[in-house]
Chain A
Amino acid sequence: MIRKRKRKQLAYEQPKTKNEVHFPLESEQTKQAIQEQLQNESSLIFKEVNVQDQTIVVCYISYLIEQTQVDSNLLAPLIDSKEKWTTTRLETNLPIGNGQQYDTIEQVCSQLIKGSVVVYIENEKSAITYSISKNERRSVEKPERESIVVGPQSAFSESLETNLNVVRSRVQSNELVTESFNIGARLPTEVRLVYLKSLANDEDVQTMRQRLNNLKIDDLEDASVLVQYIEDTNKTVFPLFYLTELVDRFSYGVSKGKIGVLVDGSPEAIVAPTTFWGFFESTEDVYFRWSVATFFRMLRFAAMFISFVLTPVYVAVVTYHYEVIPTNLLVTLGESRSQVPFPPILEVLFLELIIELLREAGARLPTKVGQTIGIVGGIVLGQAAVDAGLTSSVLIIVIAMSALASFTAPSYLMGSAVRVIRYPLILLAGLIGLVGVTFGICLLIIHLLKLKSLGRPYFLPVYPFIFKDLDNSLFRLPFSISNRRSIALNTKDPIRYQERKSKKPKDIEDWGE
């Protein structure tokens, strides 16, 4: 145990800083130092400009730079100058913003690889960098993993700047804070903590900030990886933070007082804290009328329950509890079972395996092939399995229904979790029948009650029970009644707007007043 911990500490140690090379330097020295620092990058371009008896070094990596900008806004004014250049004149007289001064070669190089141009006047104390980066990035596209019918259709892309841009344009408030963190010692990745200053709970913000600060890792691949590092516990199959690719889902969360995290290079954003019920909320629920939205949300809860209870119950009933089956169903069920040579549990596991294989294969294959696989699997395999006497026809319906139901969860992570917890339940049902299913569900509920998301109970508002919060999670009410923010979130301002004012819409007759 002790040895393990020691090894961990060693791994987290920062790489040691080398001897730094400070300015001032000769132009040739600068060139050598930079090349050495960047491992002889072959696209590194050095240009020495002689103006007014000065040697000015302009250096950049060609593929990271907007070449036209360098030519017209940097080189042209540089050469045309009638006066001597100084570092301060460079900063003020060139038509490019964001010029920054650095003293060491190392600092300059770290800017170079981000897409900056370095301008250095020989023998000066510091060099200036301008960020003229050319980012190859996807444009803002339609969501693929969380497709919706009604509502804004923009999804996050891999570029942090684009993502911040679309978030800002949806949350147009000067209260929006985007704190920057650099995570990863060897390959640093920029991470932004996004929240509304006047709304988000300070403790939550502090918790998230602390978790990000305390994270000492080598590199960070994606937002989904970050979630796994900073989640409250990893001993669960349930997702504790909401990962979304929908811009409006993210901005909706932030505008309700939640905390968002954006990771550079990841098309998904993190929203926290989240409750169990939140994973069954779709942004469509807000755009639909309240009655329709409530129906759909209830449908999703029911679907989730069906998804992990239906097959275990089938196994339990067919193996142990024939008394439960209604008399009219008995003959149908018994006859289809009598064709099958396996015990029910093997039959179910076999068919579940087929469905999982189909899903996995469909997800890996290109869209067109994937569709064919879906149809072939669904119709041909199912029919063939029944004909071959491998499964009963009733079970096909049961499995298909529970598989379908698991896909109704708006969060793909939650859908996957529900699919996974079905298997232990099936085993329990096969071992000791409905007693086992009940036992399993009890364990599951206890587990869910103990979970926390960013330090807040995962099962809110059902446990601990908050009556006034039910309309924010289990169902929806008309906006004229549902005028509070979630009490559980403990935001700085719990009321969204005053209740009665907006209640009666103005009619034509009221215009004269």
Chain B
Amino acid sequence: MIRIVMTLCLVMLSLSGCVPGQQIEQLGIITSYGVDLLDEEEGTLDNTILYTQFDPEAPQPMQTIESTSSTYLDAISAANLKTSYKLVTGHISLKLFGKEMAEKGIMRLLSPHLRDAEEPANIYIAVGEPTAKEILMSKGITDVSKFLDQLFENNIREEILPKSNFMDFVHNVDDPGVDPIQPVITIKNDKPVIDQIGLFQQDQYVASISPDETFLVKLIIEDFRAGKREIILPRAPFDPFIQNDTDEQPKEDLYLTLDEIRSSADISLEDKKQLHYQVNVDLEARLMESSEPIKIDSDKVLNLLETEMSRKFEEQYEQLTNKLKELNVDPIGFGTHYNAETKHEDLTDEKWRELFPTTTINYNVNVNIIRHGVIE
């Protein structure tokens, strides 16, 4: 018994040297990492690091530090020379890439997260326009890391942004026949805002689409459970149903807001040779707001609304597809469906880049308004 206890104590004492102590007050905890391309030919990076330090004298726990390096881990080491705290990466929540940097490909700076278990995997990946440094150093906000973290979290929860964290990004890069989409952040009134959604070819930034177009993409790649959406319809077909119109000037458009959107979509490859796709989108929603007082007293009006909306969505889809084909990016993942249907030929990304512009895609959107408010 005594021997066992002694052995245990000995093992404990000798093992205790093996664990590197990281006392919280001696750490500079990195929360965001931004990177811009400094020299294109040599591949040197201009790093901006936001970290939290616990100095009772300092007025602000959030600090910024800059360094120059060629790799991510070296960037941390280089930055370590400029602070009295030990910089650690275990709490990093955002990696922001300058637009120029993103166009060159960002996977090489993300690989430590795949190799090292201590590097967190639930981080957000975003593109900073024009540079990451400007956004991380923006004056309007004291804690940029926290602000951006909550910005992403809220918008993803509200189903405005598609899922865009590190795991989704890597998944989309590695899968043949699908490309990632990540938010693009710009500065407006000294504050960082999400302006556009970036389209990627593999890990290289290509172009961006508007939030409206993102909604269309998201409608296919993710099912909505409680989304919100404004839709613009021409006013003309509804003229007979609009009552007591007090407005003098007749307007051309009718603005409607859909709430509690539930959707489901399926993609089917109709013709493997001709690459003809059929996309069916079912969308259920409540009609919550309309710019004109439409009197919905019969199924006729409701059906008219639904068909007009469907037609509008289908039109928008046509435009979006043309744009995507032109850019030759496939965030919706038509390639994965092709890959699934044709088992014996291994689809590569290069091959899909050749095939994607030749596809024809037919959209069928079915809108169903289940409620339109309690007011009679």
Contacts and interface: CB of A to CB of B under 8 A. Distances in A.
A331 B15 CA distance: 30
Given A323-B90, A327-B146, A339 B56 contact: yes
Contact of B24 (A235, A325, A327, A435): A325
Interface string A316-348: 001111110101001101110111100110000
B91 A333 contact: no
B19 A432 contact: yes
A320 B19 contact: yes
B287 to A, nearest CB: 38
Contacts of B12: 428, 431-432, 436
Interface residues of B, number: 30
Interface string B136-176: 00000000001001000000000000000000000000000
B154 to A, nearest CB: 15
Nearest to B61: A331
Contacts of B91: 322-323, 327, 330
Contacts of A382: none
B274 interface: no
Contacts of B29: 322, 330, 334
A466 to B, nearest CB: 31
A415 interface: no
B23 interface: yes
Nearest to A235: B1
A335 B120 contact: no
A338 B61 CA distance: 11
A488 B13 CA distance: 41
Contacts of B21: 319-320
A433 interface: yes
A331 to B, nearest CB: 5
B328 interface: no
B244 to A, nearest CB: 51
A343 B23 contact: yes
A500 to B, nearest CB: 46
B31 A327 contact: yes
Which of A235, A330, A340 has the most chain B CB atoms closer than 10 A to its own CB? Answer: A330
B253 to A, nearest CB: 44
A323 B61 contact: no
B16 interface: yes
Given A322-B91, A436-B12, A330 B19 contact: no
B16 A338 contact: no
Nearest to A340: B25
Contacts of B23: 318-319, 337, 343-344
B22 A338 contact: no
B52 interface: yes
Given A331-B61, A432-B19, A322 B90 contact: yes
B55 interface: yes
A432 B15 contact: yes
Interface in B67-99: 88, 90-91, 93
Contact of A335 (B13, B16, B19, B61): B61
A344 B24 CA distance: 10
Main secondary structure of the interface of A (DSSP, over half): helix
Contact of B54 (A320, A334, A343, A432): A334
A337 B120 contact: no
B275 interface: no
Contacts of B88: 322
A322 B25 CA distance: 10
A431 B13 contact: yes
A340 B23 CA distance: 12
A337 B55 CA distance: 10
A327 B93 contact: yes
B221 interface: no
Q: What is the size category of the interface that chain A forms with chain B?
A: 20 to 34
Contact of A337 (B16, B54, B61, B146): B54
Given A318-B23, A330-B91, A343-B23, A432 B61 contact: no
B27 interface: yes
A334 B15 contact: no
Contacts of B13: 431
Contacts of B93: 327
Which of A323, A333, A436 has the most chain B CB atoms closer than 10 A to its own CB? Answer: A323
A338 B1 CA distance: 42
B56 A335 contact: yes
Contacts of B20: 320
A334 B19 contact: no
Given A322-B88, A323-B90, A335-B54, A433 B24 contact: no
B16 A432 contact: yes
A321 to B, nearest CB: 8
Contact of B22 (A319, A331, A339): A319
B15 A431 contact: yes
Given A322-B27, A432-B12, A330 B90 contact: no
Nearest to A343: B23
Contacts of B16: 431-432
A436 B149 CA distance: 33
Interface in B37-73: 52-56, 61
Nearest to A439: B12
Contacts of A432: 12, 15-16, 18-19
A331 B52 contact: yes
B24 A337 contact: yes
Contacts of A334: 24-25, 27, 29, 52-54, 61
Contact of B56 (A320, A327, A333, A338): A338
A338 B26 CA distance: 8
Contacts of B19: 320, 431-433, 435
A331 B29 CA distance: 10
Contacts of A333: 24
Contacts of A320: 19-22
A84 B56 CA distance: 101
A428 B54 CA distance: 26
A339 B22 CA distance: 16
Contacts of B120: 323
A327 B16 CA distance: 27
Contacts of B118: 323
Given A322-B91, A340-B25, A432-B19, 12 more contacts: A319-B23, A321-B22, A323-B118, A323-B120, A327-B149, A330-B24, A333-B24, A334-B53, A338-B54, A428-B12, A431-B13, A432-B16
16 contacts: A318-B23, A319-B21, A320-B20, A322-B24, A322-B27, A323-B118, A327-B146, A330-B29, A330-B91, A331-B61, A334-B52, A334-B53, A344-B23, A431-B16, A431-B19, A432-B12
Interface of A: 235, 318-323, 325, 327, 330-331, 333-335, 337-340, 343-344, 428, 431-433, 435-436
Closest 10 CB pairs between A and B? A334-B54, A323-B90, A431-B16, A338-B54, A338-B25, A337-B25, A432-B19, A322-B24, A318-B24, A334-B24
